[in-house]
Structure 1
Amino acid sequence: MPGDFPDPSVTKIGDTYWATATSSNWGPIFPLLKSKNLTDWELVGHVFPNQPPDWADYYFWAPEISEENGKTYVFYTAHKKNGPLSVGVASADNPAGPYRDHGPLVGQEDGSIDAFPIRDENNQLYIVWKEDGNSQNRPTPIWAQRINDDRTALTGEKTELFRNTIPWEGNLVEGASIVRHGDYFYAFYAGNGCCGHNCTYGIGVARSRKLLGPWEKYEKNPILTKNGSWTCPGHGTVTQRDNRWFLLHHAYDTRSFEFVGRQGVLSEFVWTPAGWPEFPQGANAAPAFNVASQNVSDDFKGTNLVASWQWPIEQKPTFTVRDGKLLLSARPDHSGAALGHHTYTTDYTATTTLLQPAALPTGTVAGIAALGDPDNTIALTAGDGKLRLWQLEKGKQQALGEVALPNSKALMLRLQAQGGNQYRFSWSADAGKTWQNLPANGQAINGTYLPPWDRGVRAGLLARGPATATATFDDFTLNNQ
C-alpha cells in the first residue's frame, strides 16, 4: 500500500479484501480500499468523505474494519471536542459506504485508542483497546469489555489483558489485533516508539486460551523488527489467503522514512510446532514496486475531485471542479487553502498549470507546494505582480526568492523533490518548453522540518488570500523517479 497509510486494517468480505488506515489530520477521513489479492489496492472512497463526525475534531487514527451478518463496522480513534482521545464506531450496509456514525464508546482520562472487536470463546462480543497512558508517562493497559451486538454501547466491566512490562516494549504496547487459531487467542501488538526518524517500533505476540486471560507473551518477542528495506513495523491486522497467513501492517521504507510516511506492508508468517507465529527471514523485504504505477495525472475532468486528493481536516478548502478546471477558493490563514496528494518515493516531480495568474485579486497568491501541515509548507506562488518562493515553518513565514510575474495567460509551476526532503522549484511561461529556476541558481530548499510526527509530506496546490478570491488550475501531475 504505497503512500502514507499507517495502522492499516483489513477484512475479507465475500471474495474481496477491504482495508482502511489512519488519516490523522488529513481529510477525507479513513480511506476505503479494496483488493482481490491483498497486493493490488484500489481507493474507492472514505468512511467520512465530507466532514468529521459531530463529536470529534482531529487525530483520526487506527480504524479497524470488520463485517458480520451483512453489516460492515469501523471502530476508530478520534480526539473528542474538549475531551480526550476516544474510540468511536460507524457502520454501513455496504463496505463502500455510506457510513453512519454512532458516536464515542469509551474515552478514558488518559485517552482510549486502537479498538479491535473480537468474540470470546463463548461467542460473546468484546472490544479490545489501549489506554493511552504513555501520553501521561504511565503504563498502557490493553483492556477488553463487552459490547452490545449493535456495537453502540459497552456493557459490564472492563478487564485488563496485559500491559507494557518487557524492556523491548519501551513505554507502550498498542494496536492489538486478535485472531483465534487452534486452542488459543493470539494478540499481535506493537511496542515502543511508533514514529519519526528515530522510531523503535516492533511487533510482539501474546496468547491465551480465553479472551480475558491469563495472557502469555512470547519469549522470542519481538517477532518482527526492522530489516534493510523496512523499519519500525507495527500496528496491523491478521488476514489469510489461500491457507497462508499474513499481517498487513505499516512500516517506513528505509529510503524515505517520514517524508513518504508509514506505508502498508504485507508480511507472511507461519505457525511453529509450539504454536507461535514466526516471520521467516526477509518476510518484509522490499516489494517489487513499480514507481511509475503510482504516477498521478489529473486534468480535472468530470464534476468531482478524484478520491485521492486530501486536505487539512480542520481547514477544509472550498473548491469546484468544472469544465476541466479546478477552482480553489482562497483562505487567509495558515498557508491558505490547500489540496494535497500522497507522495510515494523520495524523488518525484509535481507540476501544475495556473490559469490567469495576473488576474488574481490583490492580496491573493496561488501555486504549487510541498505540504507538511497548515503551518509547515514550502510554496511557489503567483500573485500581486510577483512569482514568490516562500516557506512557512511553525507558522512563521520566510521569503526565499521572487521575480516579476511574466505576462502569460497560463503559468506552469514545478516542484522537484530529491532524497525526500530537498525541494527545487521552477516555472515556465511557454507551456514547459523552457524552465526558469527560483531562486535563479536552482538551490534546493531543505524541507526536513515539514512532516509532522505522524504524517508524510504531500505535494499539492494552495491559494492564500481573501475567501472571495478563487484560483484556477488546469492540471496536476506527479511523476515518481
Structure 2
Amino acid sequence: MALFDNPVIPGFSPDPSICRVGDDHYVATSSFEYVPGVPLWHSRDLVNWRLIGHALDRPGQLELPDTVPASCGVYAPTLRHHDGRFWMITTVVTDAGTVLVTAKDPAGPWSDPVAVGIPGIDPDLAWDEDGTCWCVYSDDGIHGVRIDPETGETLGEPVALWSGSGLQYPEGPHLYRIGGWWYLLLSEGGTERGHAMSVARTRSLPGPFEPHPDNPVLSHRSTGHPVQNVGHGDLVQARDDTWWMVLLGTRPRGDTPKYHGLGRETFLAPVRWEDEWPLPGPVDLRAEAPALPPHPWPQEPERDDFDSPAIAPCWVSPRRHDPAAARLDERPGHLVLHARADSLDLPDALFVGRRQRDPDCTARTQVEVSAGGLGGLAVRLDEAHHYQVETDGSGTVRAVARIGPLCHTVAERTVPPGPVTLRIDVTTTVVLPPSVTDPGATVPPGLRVGGPDTLHLGYETAEGDFEILASLDGRYLTTEVAGGFTGRVIGMYATRGSAAFDWFGLRPA
C-alpha cells in the first residue's frame, strides 16, 4: 500500500479548486493581498504538485491599491475546464468584484478579466447539458443565477438554492452534475475550528435541494485530530474512476488554543459514494495514496541565485509587483530592492517573499545595503505582525519584532561592514531563553511557553557560525493571534535606500 503525506500543497494555499483534463489535474488557490494572484498547480497523481504560474499575473488583470487591507484582495477561486478552455472565476474583495478569466493553457496566458454582475464571494461555475452556465455564490446564503460567461451578464434573477444545516457562514459552494443528480457542496461553521462541509442534491435546477440526513458530512471540530479547520473542498474524478477531494485544513500546534502559522493548506482526501451521496474523508497527515502512477516533479530549488532574466513564480509581494523597484538587471546575479516605504508596517513597503511550507525551516540570504540604506530578511503575516533581522550597511545588524501596536528592537550587534548573511531558523522545539542582551534575565513567573514554534533571528559569521540575536515565540505570527486568512511569507525587503541580495535560500530543517 502506497502512502502519501498531507498536506499535498503545504504552506499558505487555501480554498483549493480542482479540475481534471485527461491525465492532468490542476488546482487554483486563494492569494488575498499577494500578487501575482491565484496560484495554479499541476499534478498527474494528485499527490505531487508543482506551481506552473498564476491566473492574475499582470497589472491589467489585477491591481490592488495600498488601501486594500491584509487578508482582503483575491478570495476563493473556482477552476473549471469546459468546451476546450480553462475558466477561473474569483472575487476581488474591496476592488473589482467578481471577475472571470479564461485560457487555453492553465500555465497562461490568461485573458483580461470579464466582470460578472453578482454580489457576494466564492463564485462557482457549472454547465448544464444544454450549455447553460450557472454561477453559484455566497451572499447571506447560497444563491445561483444563469450567466453568459463570455460577457459576465446575468440571465435572469438570482435564486436561493440551499444554505446548509443552519451553521454560520455558508460559503465555498460548488455545484456538480453527476449521474442523474445535481449536487451542491458547501462549507459552513466558519473557516476556524468549527469548519464543516455539507452536501445536498436535486434532480433539476434550481431545486428544491434535499440535504444529506447526516450533515455535516465532514468536520474535525471538537476533536483532537492533528488536522483542523477542514472544509472548502472541491470534488474530482480521477482517470481510474475513483473520487477525491482537495480541501483546506490547518496543522495547529502548541498549547491551547493551539496555533497555525503556515496558514490554511491544501489537503487531499478520498471520497466514497453511499446511496448516491459523496462522502469525503478521512483527512489524515499520512494516508493511502491514489492508485495512479506516481509522478513526482523535479524538486523546487531551495536556493535562488537571481541569475534568471525574470523572477521565479514562487515569489510574491503584497499588493503589487514593482519592476522598477525590484530589479534583476541592475546588478548581475542579484535582486536589487529599492525602498518605497520606510517600514514594513506600511502597506506600500517593498517585500518579496516565498510561502513558509515546512514547520521547521531555515531562511538565509546575503545582502549588501547602500550607504544610508536599510534592508533585510523578514517573516511576514501582515503589516502589524512580522519579525525581521536587518542591516543598515554601516556594520549594525538588529532583530526587530512587530506585534500589533508594539514594535521593539530586541537586540543589535556590530559586524564588519560589507555583505552580511542574515538568517532565520524556525523550529518546532519551543524555547524562550533569557534575553541575549541581558544574560541574567529570567523568564517571568507564570509566563506560558506554548506557541507553535520558535523563530531564531541572527546572522552568520565569516566562519559560518550562526549568531542568534533573538529567539521569539511564534504564536504572535499566527492567525489565532493576528486574525485574517493568510499564512507566513518569508522574504527580503528594503525600507531605506537600496539593498542588493546575492542569493536567497529556504530549506526544511
TM range (shorter): 0.7 to 0.9
Q: State how 1:11-90 maps to structure 2 within 5 Å.
A: 11-51=19-59, 53=61, 57=65, 58-81=72-95, 86-90=97-101
Q: Distance in 2 between matches of 1:154 and 1:46?
A: 27
Q: 1:425 to 1:152 in 2, by over 3 A?
A: same
| 1:156 partner SS | coil
Q: Which is worse superposed, 389-398 or 30-39?
A: 389-398
Q: Which is worse superposed, 11-20 or 240-249?
A: 11-20
Q: Distance in 1 between matches of 2:189 and 2:300?
A: 31
Scaled by the length of structure 1, the TM-score of the pair is: 0.86
Aligned residue for 2:163?
A: 163
The answer as to whether partners of 1:334 and 1:395 remain within 8 angstroms in 2 is no
Q: Distance in 2 between matches of 1:371 and 1:75?
A: 28
Aligned residue for 1:93?
A: 104
Deviation, 1:175, is 0.6
Deviations 1:76-122 (A, max 9, x none): 011243xxx832111223222111233431353xxx11111112365
Q: State how 1:86-125 maps to structure 2 within 5 Å.
A: 86-108=97-119, 112-120=120-128, 122-125=130-133
Aligned residue for 2:455?
A: 423
Q: 1:122 to 1:395 in 2, by over 3 A?
A: same
The answer to whether 1:313 aligns with 2:315 is no
The answer to whether 1:231 aligns with 2:228 is yes
Q: State how 1:417-456 maps to structure 2 within 5 Å.
A: 417-419=426-428, 420-430=452-462, 433-439=464-470, 443-449=471-477, 451=479, 452-456=483-487
Q: Distance in 2 between matches of 1:190 and 1:426?
A: 42
Q: Distance in 2 between matches of 1:434 and 1:55?
A: 43
Deviation, 1:164, is 4.4
The answer to whether 1:390 aligns with 2:400 is yes
Higher relative contact order (CA 8 A, sep 6+): 2
Q: 1:311 to 1:96 in 2, by over 3 A?
A: same
Q: State how 1:52-451 maps to structure 2 within 5 Å.
A: 53=61, 57=65, 58-81=72-95, 86-108=97-119, 112-120=120-128, 122-131=130-139, 140-150=140-150, 152-166=152-166, 169=167, 171-195=168-192, 199-226=193-220, 228-241=225-238, 242-255=240-253, 258-272=260-274, 274-279=275-280, 282-286=282-286, 296-313=302-319, 318-322=325-329, 323-335=332-344, 336-355=349-368, 357=369, 360-362=370-372, 364-383=373-392, 385=394, 386-394=396-404, 396-404=406-414, 406-419=415-428, 420-430=452-462, 433-439=464-470, 443-449=471-477, 451=479
| 1:194 partner SS | coil
Deviation, 1:205, is 0.7
Q: 1:312 to 1:97 in 2, by over 3 A?
A: same
| 1:349 partner SS | strand
Q: Distance in 1 between matches of 2:500 and 2:144?
A: 51
Q: Distance in 2 between matches of 1:427 and 1:267?
A: 41
Q: Distance in 1 between matches of 2:500 and 2:283?
A: 47
The answer as to whether partners of 1:378 and 1:447 remain within 8 angstroms in 2 is no
Q: 1:100 to 1:94 in 2, by over 3 A?
A: same
Deviations 1:11-53 (A, max 9, x none): 1224321211000111110011111122111111111123373
Deviations 1:259-293 (A, max 9, x none): 11111111111111x2212235x354435999x96
The answer as to whether partners of 1:141 and 1:160 remain within 8 angstroms in 2 is yes
Q: 1:65 to 1:476 in 2, by over 3 A?
A: same
Deviation, 1:180, is 2.0
The answer as to whether partners of 2:164 and 2:198 remain within 8 angstroms in 1 is no
Aligned residue for 2:440?
A: none
Q: Distance in 1 between matches of 2:411 and 2:102?
A: 50
Amino acid at match of 1:433: G
Q: Distance in 2 between matches of 1:417 and 1:69?
A: 46
Q: 1:222 to 1:450 in 2, by over 3 A?
A: closer
Q: Distance in 1 between matches of 2:477 and 2:143?
A: 36
Q: 1:445 to 1:288 in 2, by over 3 A?
A: farther
Q: 1:395 to 1:106 in 2, by over 3 A?
A: farther
Aligned residue for 1:477?
A: 505
Q: 1:447 to 1:383 in 2, by over 3 A?
A: farther
Deviation, 1:378, is 0.9
Amino acid at match of 1:193: G
Q: 1:294 to 1:348 in 2, by over 3 A?
A: farther
| 1:24 partner SS | coil
Amino acid at match of 1:194: T
Amino acid at match of 2:457: F
Q: 1:398 to 1:480 in 2, by over 3 A?
A: same
Q: 1:267 to 1:96 in 2, by over 3 A?
A: same
Deviation, 1:426, is 1.7
Deviations 1:179-231 (A, max 9, x none): 22222111111111204xxx211111111111200011111111112262311
Aligned residue for 2:431?
A: none
| 1:96 partner SS | coil
The answer for unaligned runs of 5 or more in structure 2 is: 1-8, 66-71, 290-295, 429-451
Q: Distance in 2 between matches of 1:393 and 1:316?
A: 27
Q: Distance in 1 between matches of 2:312 and 2:288?
A: 27
Q: Distance in 2 between matches of 1:191 and 1:66?
A: 23
Q: 1:165 to 1:295 in 2, by over 3 A?
A: same
Q: 1:271 to 1:28 in 2, by over 3 A?
A: same
Q: 1:400 to 1:293 in 2, by over 3 A?
A: same
Q: Distance in 1 between matches of 2:453 and 2:338?
A: 28
Q: Which has the higher strand share?
A: 1
Q: Which is worse superposed, 256-265 or 409-418?
A: 256-265
Q: 1:380 to 1:95 in 2, by over 3 A?
A: same
Deviations 1:149-192 (A, max 9, x none): 525211111111012443xx2x1211111222222111111111
Q: Distance in 1 between matches of 2:129 and 2:102?
A: 25
Q: Distance in 2 between matches of 1:192 and 1:7?
A: 15
Aligned length: 446
Q: Distance in 2 between matches of 1:334 and 1:412?
A: 21
